[in-house]
Structure 1
Amino acid sequence: MSTAAEPATTLRTDVPPAPAARAPKALGALLVVAVVAAALNLRPVVTSLGPVLDSVRTDLGMSAAVAGLLTAVPALCFAVFGIAAPALARRIGPIAVVAAGMGAIALGVLARSFTGSTAVFLLLTAVALAGVAVANVLLPVVIKRYFPQRVGPMIGLYSMALSVGTSAAAAATVPLTGALGGNWRLGLGAWGLLAAAAAVLWLVTLFLRRERSSATAAARAAARLPILRSRTAWALALFFGLQSTSAYAAMGWLPKIYQDAGVSAGASGVLLAEVMAVSVPASFVLPNLAARRGDQRIFVVVLGLCGIAGFTGLLFAAGTAPWLWAGLVGLSMCAFPLALTMLGLRARTPGGVTQLSAFAQSLGYLISVPGPIVIGGLYQSTGGWTVPLAFLALLLVPQILVGLRAGLARHIEDEAVR
C-alpha cells in the first residue's frame, strides 16, 4: 500500500490498462485473428528451410560451414534484435512494431528465395529473423495490454498457433515445392505470402485502433525500472534459456538419436512430428491452467520431470518404446508456453511486460545458442548418445530450480524498486 512516507521516486505500477486499450468487440476479434496470424509466422522462417536446405546449398554454392551457421543464427538474431523491441514499442506503439515485424518477415522470406548470392541469402534471412525477434517480444505485451483479463486463454491461442506454424512449415514445404514444379525458390517463398497477409491484418488493426505513438505513463515508468535488480526477471531469463536449449537440441538431434538406435529414417521423422504434435493441444490448455493460479511451480516440476523421463528413456531404451519417449519430450517442451504465460503474469502493466519480455527472451535465446552445438560436440567426441542424453536430462534439474523461483506469485515492479 502506498503511504505518504514513500520516497518521491516510488512508481505506481498497479494502474489498470488505459481506457483507450479497451476496444469494441469487433476490434477485439480482429486483434485475436491478428495475434494468431502473427504466431503462425514466427517459425516458418526457420523450419521451412531445413527440408530444402540441400537444394539451397547446391544452387547457391553454400558451404557446409555456412549451412551449419544457419542453425545458430535464429537464436542469436532473436537475442540481438529482441533487445530493440521495448524502445520501438515506446516510440511508435507495440501494434505498429508487430506490423513492421510481419512486413520484415514477408520481405526477407520472399526476397531471399530469389537471390543467387549466399551472402544476400544470409542477410535477408537476418531481416526476416529481426521481424520474428520483435514480434516474439511484443506479442505477449499486446496480449497483456488489450486482453488483461484473458492472458491465459490468449497466450494459449498464441502458443498453439505458433506450434501449428512450426510443424506445418516443416511438413508442407517439400510437398509444396513439388506442387510448384520442384522449384525450392517457390516452395520457400510461398511462406512469405503468409507473412504478407499477416502484415496486412496488423496494418488494418493499427489503422482502426489509431494507437498513439506517445508512451503511456505506465510504459514510461516501466522503462525506468532497474530490472537487473529483480530476481524473478533473472529466474525467468534462465528458465527461458534452459528450456530453449533442450527444445533446440531435441528438435535438431532427435531423428539421429532414433536412427542410431535402429529406428528407420522415415519413422524417426514421424517421431519428431509427434514431439511437435503433442505440443499443439498442450500449448493451448497449459497457459489457461497456469494463468488461473498465482503460482506456477507445479507446472514447472511436472514438465521438468517429463523431460527427465523422456531423455532417460532415450538413453536406455530409445528403440523399445520410441512413441513414449517422444511424447514425454514433447510435453517437456511445453515449458515454452509456460514461460510465455509467466512473462504476462510477472509484471503488472503492459510496460512492465515489455521490459521483462525483452530481457528474458533476449538473454534466454542467447543462453540457448551453444546448446545444439555442445550436444553435437559431445556426440562426436564420445561416439554415442550416452553422454549427450545424460547431459540433457541433467540440464532439466537447474531448469526446474530456476523455474521454481520464476513460478512464484511475484511482480518484477516490487522487486526492482527496492
Structure 2
Amino acid sequence: MTTPSSTASRTADHTETLQFVGGVLLIMALGLNLRPLLASASPLMEDIRTATGLGYGVLAWLTTLPFLCMGAVALASGRIARLLGESRGIMLSLGAIGVACALRQAYGTGLTLLSTALLGGAGIALIQALVPGLVKRRFGARMPLVMGLYSASLMSGGGLSAWVSPRIAELGGWQLGVGIWWMPALVTLAGWFLIFRRRAAAPADATAIEGVRPWRLKRAWLLALYFGVINAGYSSVVTWLPVYYQELGRSAVAGGRLLAWMTIFQVLAALTMPAIAQRQKTTDRRWLLAASLIAQLVGYLGFIFMPQSLALWWNAIAGFGLGACFSLGLILALDHLTDARAAGRLAAFMQGFGFMLNALSPWISGILRETTGSFIAAWALLAIGIVTMLVVTLRFSPARYPQVMQSPGQ
C-alpha cells in the first residue's frame, strides 16, 4: 500500500534526479563552448595566413592570447565572482565568447582575430575558473564523475569545431568557419539564464577560504607548474597539428579530421579516467596520472619518428593522454582540500599560472618551426617536459595533503 510519505519520498527523489541531470547537462554545455574559439582556426591556419598575411609566430598568438587570458582571469576569479556573482559571471562570459565568434564572422582581419582572442579568452577563462568549485559544491561525492563529463564536453567542443569548421569554410569561407560558434554560446546562455539565474550560491565557509592562501604554499606552485606542463601539449597540438600534417602532404580537411580523431580519444579518457578515480577507495591518483603521461609521451615520439605510417595510432594515444591529464589535473587539485570553496580557489590558482605556461607552448612551437623548418623540435620539447613530470607525479601522496596545505614550506 502506497503511503503519502513514500509518495513524497519518490517525488523528492525524482526531483533530485531531474535537478542532477539538468545541472550536469548545463555544465557539459558550458564545456562545449570553451574550445571552438581555439580549435576552429587550427585547420584553417593556411587560409587565414594567406588572407591576412600573418606569419607563424603571429598566428600562434591566436592560441597564446586566450591561454594568457585564462591564466590572468583565473587568478582574479575570486574577486570577479564576488563582484558579479557566480551565475552572472558565467552568463557574461558566455556573452563574451559569443560576441568574439560573431566578430570573427563579420570582420576577417588580423586585428579582429587577435582582439577577439583576448575577448573570447577572457570569457573562457572565467568559466574555467568558476566551474571546479561550483562542481565540488553542487555535486559533492560525484565530483570526479561530473568533472569528467565537463572535461569530455570541453574536448568534444574542440574536436567538433576542428572537424566541422573546414567543411563550413568550403561553403562560406574561413570567416564563417571560425565565426559560426556564436550560435551554441547563445543557446547555452539562454539555458543558463532560465535554470540558474535564481539559484543562490551556498554560503561561504569564511574560515576555510581565508585560511587558504595558495600563493603562500609551495604545493600550490608545484600544482600550477605540473598542470601547466602536462597540458602544454594541448595548446601546441590544437594550433599546429593540422599544419604539421599539411606540411607532410595532407589537406586542411584531412588535418582537421586528424584533430577531431584525436579529440575522440581525449573525450574517452576524460570520461573513463575520472570514472575510475570515482570508484577508487583512495584519492591517490598517481598511477592514473603516470599512465596518462606515458600515453602522451608515446604519441609525441610517434609524431617524431613515424608520423605518416601510424598517424591514427599516434593521434589516438596522444589524445588519450591529453584528455586524461586535463581532467585528472583538476581532480588532483580539488582532492587537496575538503572545503569546496577553498578547493575551488586552489584550482583557480593552479589553472591561472598553469594556463600561462600553456600560453607559451604554441608560441615556442611556432618559433621552433620558423627556426628549424620543422615541428620535430616542438614535439621533442613536449616529450622532455612529460618525462620530467613523471618524476614529479611521485610527490602527490594523499597522506601528505593536510600537511602540505598548511605549511608554506611544503
Shorter-chain TM-score range: 0.7 to 0.9
**Is the counterpart of residue 99 in structure 1 residue 91 in structure 2?**
yes
| Separation in structure 1 between the aligned mates of residue 305 and residue 112 of structure 2, nearest angstrom | 45
**Is the counterpart of residue 285 in structure 1 residue 256 in structure 2?**
no
| Separation in structure 2 between the aligned mates of residue 362 and residue 42 of structure 1, nearest angstrom | 16
| Separation in structure 2 between the aligned mates of residue 40 and residue 113 of structure 1, nearest angstrom | 19
**Is the counterpart of residue 360 in structure 1 residue 347 in structure 2?**
no
Structure 1 residue ranges without an equivalent (≥5):
1-22
Give the total of aligned pairs.
Answer: 389
Question: What amino acid maps onto 1:275 in structure 2?
Answer: M
Question: What amino acid maps onto 2:184 in structure 1?
Answer: L
The question of whether the paired residues in 1 share the 8 Å contact of 2:301 and 2:380 is answered with: yes
| Separation in structure 1 between the aligned mates of residue 43 and residue 258 of structure 2, nearest angstrom | 16
RMSD across aligned positions (CA): 2.9
For normalisation by structure 2, the TM-score amounts to 0.84
For the residue of structure 2 that corresponds to 1:277, the secondary structure is helix
The match for 2:11 is none
After TM superposition, the structure 1 = structure 2 runs for residues 223-234 of structure 1, keeping only pairs within 5 Å, are 223-234=210-221
Question: What amino acid maps onto 1:273 in structure 2?
Answer: A
State the Cα deviation string for residues 356-395 of structure 1 (Å, max 9, x = none): 1221011001112222333344444445565444332221
For normalisation by structure 1, the TM-score amounts to 0.82
User: After alignment, is 317-326 or 134-143 more displaced?
Assistant: 317-326
The match for 1:245 is 232
After TM superposition, the structure 1 = structure 2 runs for residues 64-79 of structure 1, keeping only pairs within 5 Å, are 64=55, 66-79=58-71
The question of whether the paired residues in 2 share the 8 Å contact of 1:81 and 1:130 is answered with: yes
The match for 1:254 is 241
The equivalent position to 2:365 in structure 1, one of 347, 362, 375, is 375
| Separation in structure 2 between the aligned mates of residue 149 and residue 167 of structure 1, nearest angstrom | 29
The question of whether the paired residues in 1 share the 8 Å contact of 2:43 and 2:242 is answered with: no
| Separation in structure 1 between the aligned mates of residue 19 and residue 73 of structure 2, nearest angstrom | 29
| Separation in structure 2 between the aligned mates of residue 345 and residue 309 of structure 1, nearest angstrom | 28
| Separation in structure 1 between the aligned mates of residue 320 and residue 296 of structure 2, nearest angstrom | 7
Q: CA deviation at 1:48?
A: 1.8
| Separation in structure 2 between the aligned mates of residue 173 and residue 237 of structure 1, nearest angstrom | 32
The match for 2:9 is none
The match for 1:9 is none
For the residue of structure 2 that corresponds to 1:304, the secondary structure is helix
Q: CA deviation at 1:138?
A: 1.0
**Is the counterpart of residue 143 in structure 1 residue 132 in structure 2?**
no
Q: CA deviation at 1:411?
A: 4.2
The equivalent position to 1:156 in structure 2, one of 141, 148, 151, is 148
Change (3 A) 1:361 1:193: same
| Separation in structure 1 between the aligned mates of residue 109 and residue 374 of structure 2, nearest angstrom | 37
Q: CA deviation at 1:343?
A: 2.7
Change (3 A) 1:48 1:390: closer
The question of whether the paired residues in 1 share the 8 Å contact of 2:43 and 2:255 is answered with: no
Q: CA deviation at 1:99?
A: 2.1
| Separation in structure 2 between the aligned mates of residue 109 and residue 386 of structure 1, nearest angstrom | 32
The equivalent position to 2:293 in structure 1, one of 301, 304, 323, is 304
* Structure in which a larger fraction of residues adopt helix: 2
| Separation in structure 1 between the aligned mates of residue 406 and residue 186 of structure 2, nearest angstrom | 39
Change (3 A) 1:227 1:111: same
State the Cα deviation string for residues 26-73 of structure 1 (Å, max 9, x = none): 4333221210110000011121233445555666x5643643432321
Change (3 A) 1:263 1:238: same
The question of whether the paired residues in 1 share the 8 Å contact of 2:60 and 2:363 is answered with: no
The equivalent position to 2:393 in structure 1, one of 377, 394, 403, is 403
State the Cα deviation string for residues 156-209 of structure 1 (Å, max 9, x = none): 111111111111111112323445xx1544443321111011111211233342
| Separation in structure 2 between the aligned mates of residue 238 and residue 358 of structure 1, nearest angstrom | 13
**Is the counterpart of residue 221 in structure 1 residue 212 in structure 2?**
no
Question: What amino acid maps onto 1:45 in structure 2?
Answer: L
For the residue of structure 1 that corresponds to 2:106, the secondary structure is coil
Percent identity, please: 28
The question of whether the paired residues in 1 share the 8 Å contact of 2:163 and 2:259 is answered with: no
